[in-house]
């Protein structure tokens, strides 16, 4: 804990010593959040669009059951863990937020380009936080390709330099992917594709900057 506070103080002090960095950081954060919420609104508006139901032989190996609780717990443990990791690293935070936003925009684009509908025997995924964001009466079931849960955890995995945290995130991404397919919330293709899109966004918008800042971590 002491090391965390020392790292927070050192890195933020150094970053804010750069002219206009605080303003740039704030604008970047507000822009990323605003675009995220706007695209989420577009997904809600798009929720009634019909899509194709895939014949997924791997998905059919599992009888769907409600795994919402373990999916929710694992996902938000990853989110909280990454927030704790990234807060004392403002320069990493700056570029990781961009990579996260880009992969979210890519996901929205592919949802439009590849309209899919969930399996008929899907068990709805209960996520109280997401319900609060989009509204309890606006559940989204056709945001399939590619998996948002696995993408988010993959971004967390890629945008940190802690070996133990990366190992934890990697295991969580695989576990959540399996659980999503088991519950028939996502097809296997949705889950497998997610890390590749996350990696592409990471390489294009974050990798070089994060490598450059690695000595601060």
Q: Over pLDDT 70: what percentage of the chain?
A: 94
DSSP letters spanning the chain: -HHHHHHHHHHHHHHHTSTTHHHHHHHHHHHHHHHHHHHHHHHHHTTT---BPP--TTGGGS-----HHHHHHHHHHHHHHHHHHHTT-HHHHHHHHHHHHHHHHHHHHHHHHS-B---TTPPPPP-HHHHHHH-TT-------SS-HHHHHHHHHHHT---HHHHHHHHHHHHHHHHHHHHTTSS-HHHHHHHHHHHHHHHHHHTHHHHHHTGGG-
- pLDDT tier, 133 (very low <50, low <70, confident <90, very high otherwise): low
In this predicted structure, what is the pLDDT of residue 43?
Answer: 80
Q: Which pLDDT tens digit goes with each residue over 69-121?
A: 999 999 999 999 999 999 999 989 988 988 988 998 999 899 989 999 999 99
Give the pLDDT mean for 8-14: 89
Q: Which pLDDT tens digit goes with each residue over 182-210?
A: 999 999 999 999 999 999 999 988 888 88
Give the pLDDT mean for 16-43: 86
Structural contact between residues 100 and 32, judged by C-beta atoms closer than 8 angstroms: yes
- pLDDT tier, 216 (very low <50, low <70, confident <90, very high otherwise): very low
d(CA 139, CA 178): 22
Average pLDDT score over the chain: 88
d(CA 53, CA 50): 10
Cα of 66 vs its chain's centroid, Å? 21
């Amino acid at each position: 804990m002491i090391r965390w506070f020392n790292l927070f103080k050192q890195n933020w002090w150094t970053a804010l010593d750069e002219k206009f960095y605080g303003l740039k950081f704030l604008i970047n954060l507000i822009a990323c959040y605003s675009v995220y919420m706007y695209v989420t609104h577009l997904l809600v508006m798009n929720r009634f669009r019909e899509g194709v139901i895939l014949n997924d032989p791997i998905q059919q190996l599992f009888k769907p059951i409600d795994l919402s609780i373990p999916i929710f717990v694992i996902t938000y443990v990853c989110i909280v863990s990454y927030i704790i990791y990234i807060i004392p690293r403002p320069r990493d935070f700056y570029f990781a937020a961009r990579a996260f936003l880009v992969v979210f925009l890519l996901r929205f684009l592919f949802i439009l380009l590849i309209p899919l509908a969930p399996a008929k025997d899907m068990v709805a995924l209960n996520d109280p936080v997401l319900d609060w964001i989009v509204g309890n009466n606006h559940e989204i079931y056709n945001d399939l390709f590619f998996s948002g849960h696995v993408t988010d955890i993959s971004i967390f995995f890629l945008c940190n330099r802690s070996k133990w945290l990366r190992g934890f995130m990697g295991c969580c991404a695989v576990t959540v992917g399996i659980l999503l397919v088991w519950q028939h919330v996502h097809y296997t293709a949705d889950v497998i594709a997610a890390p590749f899109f996350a990696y592409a966004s990471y390489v294009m918008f974050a990798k070089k900057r994060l490598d450059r800042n690695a000595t601060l971590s």
